[in-house]
Amino acid sequence: MNTAAHFSYWITIFVAIAGLYIVIARGNLMKKLVGLAIFQTSVYLLYIAPGKLIGGTAPIVAEQFRIYSNPLPHVLILTAIVVGVATLALGLALVVRIREAYGSIEEDEILEQDETHSTDITSKQA
Amino acid sequence: MIASHLPVLQVILPLIAAPVMVLARRGAIAWLLALIVSWAGLFISVALLARVADGSVISYAIGNWPPPWGIEYRIDRVNAFLLTLVSLIAAVVVVYSRLSVAAEVPREQQYLFYALYSLCLAGLLGITSTGDAFNLFVFLEISSLSSYVLIALGRDRRALVAAYQYLIMGTIGATFIVIGVGLLYLMTGTLNMADMAVRLRGVSEVRPVLAALAFLTVGICLKLALFPLHLWLPNAYAYAPSAVTALLAATATKVSVYVLLRFYYSVFGESVVFSALPMGQVLLVLSLAAAFVASTVAIFQHDLKRMFAYSSVAQIGYITLGLSFDSATGLTAGIVHLFNHALTKGALFMLLGGIALRLGGVRFEHIGGIARVMPLTSFGIVLGGLSLIGVPATVGFISKWNLILAALESGAWWIAFAIVLSSLLAVVYVWRFVEAAYFREPGAAVAKIKEAPLEMLIPAWLMIAACIYFGLDTTLTVGSAAQAAATLLQGTR
């Protein structure tokens, strides 16, 4: 188990923890989404990197090539990227709506507004 | 000919219906389509349940690519049972939703509501039918993304924040699940769950497998809202439209429990999960904490929907408590409670939707004396509440009875005592409703309203009736659950 051989895993772990840290530590709803996107990106690396063989080519059967890289992780991650894009788009759309409703995208300001106004809103509804 | 395609048909129908609804742009047409696909799904899943009742397994190769290379849909007694539950709830809720959605969702958004409803249903049924680990993740995201939007459709602006918080926590959970699946793929080279289970036995390097188990457990437990990963649930349930709360409370967390069962018993195998790591003890502690802490928090809520949302967290604790015993009796108890709680909570949230429709909200200070004007709704909530407590002749009693049997079988009588003690907390929060609804004088706002419309009452009361019926006659529910537990346990040996 040496560090150089597991280089891509170290990068993956670093990116994952960095992303997760941003989600937890930042109160800005936008920055949280950025952190979430970084966290998801680390998974792409986790899947793609082990599929590559040094000297391997695309899996097209031809006489001069003997070693092929595994194409399946690419297909899986293509799907995961689509899911990630959809999640990010939906998250940003929600942030736009939250900003329209609260006039802020800072988590603490939004929670403060909910605490002070919660009684007014319900009395309006009833 | 069509009969051989049933496993995929129930997922495909709502998936195709959703874009058709968006193109039609009419709320009424969208509702009719949602009604058709939900009921078609129910008939298909009952047909599948009948076909696998003898213990056989239906394997369906998507696009005729044979497993383990292609995506396989694999129906056995466990997921046929779950499919029936999910499509039953969806079929009842869709009937109920027409009036409820008309009152709570702006007219120009109603067709989108039903499109998302269908997508969510397709996702949930897909998770349950698939035998492919990555396909499971994709369906998980389909159902999750659509439920974030469904929650955000709530009238209160806090629904937006609740949906955002659910999106963040749900995505972290889903990403943990992909990491777990990725590690398993690295170790076995396959994504087919049955094939994975066979190949895992030959894997000599155990540590990545245990890491995968840990990632999957945390990810799935975020999705099923196991205490203390439940923080997204109370607000999401409280501020979502009533029909959405009824659907999600009864199906989404239950499907996540199924995913946990599938990975624990059909992929890793019981021996890896419960002896290599102390999963049983961890689940036991968290489940009991959920039952006590969430029930206590429920007592102090001002909003009925939020109160029953916290009660859901507690009830999920009972389901995972059943799993933690690592025995056939415990597993049966967990699966029975999964079914029973889905019925009870679905009914309760549907009845609360009736009050929300007439009164505009379900806060305790506004509902005083509501039993005078809405007797059927109030009595239904009381019966549902009795089932949450576990009073004999309701489904709740059957669940608790089986749980206590499992606890005594494992030799831990103090757990049986804790189950009874935590049920007493449910008595307190159900009594708060009884006190407000029956023993207070109706205010001016309450005196003006009338009983909820029949179109909403009948579906809700059907579920309440089912709660009583399955509390008296348990051959179908406990029988199916025991069979499902046996299927899961034999998958490993």
**Cα–Cα dist B242/A97, whole Å:** 21
State pTM to two decimals: 0.92
CATH architecture designation of domain A7-125: Orthogonal Bundle (1.10)
Q: What is the average per-residue pLDDT within B356-364? A: 86
Span A17-58, pLDDT tens digits: 999 999 999 999 999 999 999 999 999 999 988 888 777 888
Residue A51 forms contact with B (CB below 8 Å): no
Asked if B49 and B130 count as a contact pair (C-beta separation under 8 A), the reply is no
A110 to chain B: which residues are within 8 Å by CB?
A: 161
What's the length of chain A? 126
* B390 has pLDDT over 70: yes
Q: Which residues form the domain of B460?
A: 278-493
Question: Do the domain assignments include residue B443?
Answer: yes
Residue A122 confidence (pLDDT): 46
- Going by C-beta distance under 8 Å and a sequence separation of 6 or more, which residues neighbour residue B153? B104, B105, B109, B113, B159, B240, B241, B244
Question: Do the domain assignments include residue B107?
Answer: no
Interface of B with A in 214-253 (CB under 8 A): none
Chain B: closest CA distance from residue A74 (Å): 12
**Cα–Cα dist B141/B123, whole Å:** 8
Question: Do the domain assignments include residue B242?
Answer: no
As a whole number of Å, the end-to-end CA separation of chain B is 35
Question: Do the domain assignments include residue B287?
Answer: yes
ipTM of the complex: 0.90
Residue A82 forms contact with B (CB below 8 Å): no
Minimal-distance CA residue of chain A relative to B178: A43
User: Position B307: which residue type?
Assistant: M
In this structure, of B93-97, B105-109, B169-173, the range with the lowest mean pLDDT score is: B105-109
In this structure, of A68-72, B131-135, B163-167, B208-212, the range with the lowest mean pLDDT score is: A68-72
The answer to whether the Cα torsion of B15, B131, B280, B412 is positive or negative is positive
Residue A123 confidence (pLDDT): 42
Whether residue A121 and residue B157 make contact (CB cut-off 8 A), yes or no, is yes
* A89 has pLDDT over 50: yes
* Tokens found for residue B471: 């509390």
Q: What is the average per-residue pLDDT within A96-125? A: 77
Span B137-187, pLDDT tens digits: 999 999 999 999 999 998 888 999 999 999 999 999 999 999 999 999 999
User: Position B244: which residue type?
Assistant: V
Q: What is the average per-residue pLDDT within B459-483? A: 90
* B103 has pLDDT over 80: yes
For chain B, the average pLDDT equals 90
Asked if B388 and B315 count as a contact pair (C-beta separation under 8 A), the reply is yes
Residue B364 forms contact with A (CB below 8 Å): no
Q: How many folded domains does chain B comprise?
A: 1
Span B335-354, pLDDT tens digits: 999 999 999 999 999 999 99
* B493 has pLDDT over 60: no
**Cα–Cα dist B38/B335, whole Å:** 23
For chain A, which residues make up each domain, given as ranges?
A: 7-125
**Cα–Cα dist A121/B425, whole Å:** 30
Residue B158 forms contact with A (CB below 8 Å): yes
* Tokens found for residue B393: 């002749």
Whether residue A125 and residue B360 make contact (CB cut-off 8 A), yes or no, is yes
User: Position B87: which residue type?
Assistant: S
Q: Which of B157, B165, B366, B446 to mutate to test the interface with A (most CBs of A within 10 A)?
A: B157
